[in-house]
A and B are shown apart, each in its own frame.
Chain A
Amino acid sequence: MSTRWASGRPRSRVRAPQPARAPEPDRGPGAAQLSLAERAGALSAEWAPTAGRIMLGAVFFWFGCHELVQPGHWTQYVPAVSESSSLAVILVLAHGWVLFVIATALVAGIAPRAAAAVASVLLLEIVISLAVTGVSDTAVRDLGVLGLAVCLTGCKNQRLVLRG
């Protein structure tokens, strides 16, 4: 014979009294959209610095690789040095090396604010060297990338950061 009913703790069908909830305010028909906008805002505030950091790292990685593998295509941008000299090639390789390491730090989240600060200095140098020869499309574009790097320097709350 089954004694299942007696094996457990006796249960009462009478529910325990629950604390009374406060009445929700009437938010109107736009309440759902407002909630969605709030959630999107919170999500972007949480993840936007990380997305910007990784994208900036991708840009640095791309140009760093190009400068390292094909320095001859970049020696024309070295100021005050002959384009065909070995010194220009060495300067481009050193610049590409720094870009590559900074890109790694940005993507991996290693000291991201310090990496963004170094990236800001590098981009400021690039923008100035381009602007000296005259305002061009490239200089204006790099000015925008410089703005992203400056913003990332001030972001304290970042996700996917490597600690330790």
Chain B
Amino acid sequence: MIGPRGLSILIFAGLVALALAVVGWTQRHGGVVAPVPSYSSQTAFYPVGGGITG
């Protein structure tokens, strides 16, 4: 029914799909890699590259 060439192609496709599934599992939460930082009013704010001012 399925010859050796067909079986090889199906196994290759299955492995590719498995790799894609691993990619999908790592991005299962919609691609968010880190929570959005929330700053409170008491948090000190340091400007980027801020040196000594004043």
Contact = CB atoms under 8 A, between A and B. Distances in A.
Interface in B15-31: 16-18, 20-21, 23-25, 27-31
A68 B1 contact: no
Interface residues of A, number: 25
B20 A89 contact: no
Q: Is the interface of A mostly helix, strand, loop or mixed?
A: helix
A108 to B, nearest CB: 6
Contact of A68 (B5, B6, B23, B31): B23
A110 B10 contact: yes
B14 A101 contact: yes
A41 B29 CA distance: 51
Given A71-B24, A96-B17, A105-B6, 7 more contacts: A70-B31, A71-B28, A72-B29, A86-B28, A93-B21, A114-B1, A162-B3
